[in-house]
Structure 1
């Protein structure tokens, strides 16, 4: 909303024209959401601790050291992230932009699922929230709604196409199957980030890195000159999503201040489900779904470890990993939490660089 106000004033005060630039508003959005989380974070955490009703239930089958360290730490940190990100987006993004509205809807809808899940966990005093079947069904319903909104907002000639990175002209027209594909991307991304969020700061930094990657991607895709030079599919008005991505980056940075080891607060499903769904949504609207698969490869590894573990145990009665998701496997092997987190961050940086290289190497 403030960008409209400053744009109106720029008629008389030319220096306010900077607010018309997406790059500037993205930077302001980062600073705004970061400031909101840093200001509200301390009082919010103190309130949760003083009430003594918001402690994160810890899995009983996890490493003993993990259970001891994490016990008594409040959850619902995702509320801070989502509130700051949405506030910053509304202040600085063009809220008439359909892609911005779709992204905000994806954040809100999946954060509601996560909030209800966190609430039930706290109420029941165990790590089981919404029944998996109901939770998955809700994710599919919201995923279908998001994909439908994307489809009706995207030009018909590029609506159902899938580009493969590192190739100029290798394009697949998925047709009606793109709807199914889109839901898989959103729901899969949502759950993958959720599974990664198991150690202090482990999911937060990769979310920041992938969001920064897509700030660049959406800006290039939304620019006629750059998209033509790099042989990317031009999507009109998509660059405005940069502001929402910037809001997520700032809010996540602020949250990391409190979530850094030893964490004072956990993100919870409220944050992780919403952030994952948002990244999936951005990859769909920007037509860079495979880039998300690469840049968010750490999330894919974590989710894959759970899938492999379940299939192996169901079919052969054996476990491939000592414990899934993957970060708990290394905990069971005796790795220090900080070692796991930093090494996983390094992997995330490498994957992001590979994804970015695909923009030029075609």
Structure 2
């Protein structure tokens, strides 16, 4: 049986007040759950990470350790609260995790970005190998070209989408005309109006996707204006504000299974699509001006997985589930095709949903694949 320990990783300075908990700020710690093999001494560690999800109990940790690989479920400073998340700070956090494990004696480190972690690990390795980002999209620190970001030895994107801003824009409800009145809607762009479908026509989908991008850009224009207003009216004392975004689970693929057909069931990770589109638990309803630019703006966010994978030199494995109703095959292919070298693999997992729900056998098969891939590339 594998052993488990809690790692306390130093948290780097972020430059702004973006964690509400004073206890968390003063502790100066990032927390990770380390699972070691039952026998032998593993020289390879796999860090499983997401920008904000709690991965201390990730389903792959124990199975990977049982297969002889040390597995670390790492949390960023934005654990369970992405309302003020700055992607560039997540990169710094991940860098501290890599350094911690290097100093602990691990010779090979692999980053596994699960779900929203795919864009993060791609961005990390890109900036570790060839740093280009000198500030956040709002012009704030950190300067990643001056950061200590040790490169890793391999990248795994598991059940991942290309990046938060990309998938978020694909989910934005374009029928919302007034950001304060989500139920005053443009019927011609309303996926929940039965006159439009499902099934949805190519003409409707073309207009719909274009309107989603325009809504994202409309919010971005408002965000930049608000930043200027807040600064000018407070003499620079206020440099950020919170706000609400309504309608963030309105991808027609959730209800029309003829769009990008797969084994998936209808609906979202949060249940039936119409209610999920409005309830607070779903993606990106609560954010701040600066966080919007960093993680949700389609034109500004740096967390574009395919773009950054084109700049990495290490082997890349992209795994996806054929029954996933969140990270679609097209997302996996975008990541795979973004890799600019031959050491890449696209691996479908037949029948797997986003969390391998109720399928420990599929988890085992996935972890078998990870270990075989590590062996194939001499990473274990």
Fold equivalence (TM over 0.5):
no
TM class by smaller structure: under 0.3
Task: Give the alignment's TM-score, normalised by structure 1.
Answer: 0.27
TM-score w.r.t. length of structure 2: 0.26
Whichever structure has more strand as a proportion of its residues is 2
Q: Which has the higher contact order (CA 8 A, sep 6+)?
A: 1
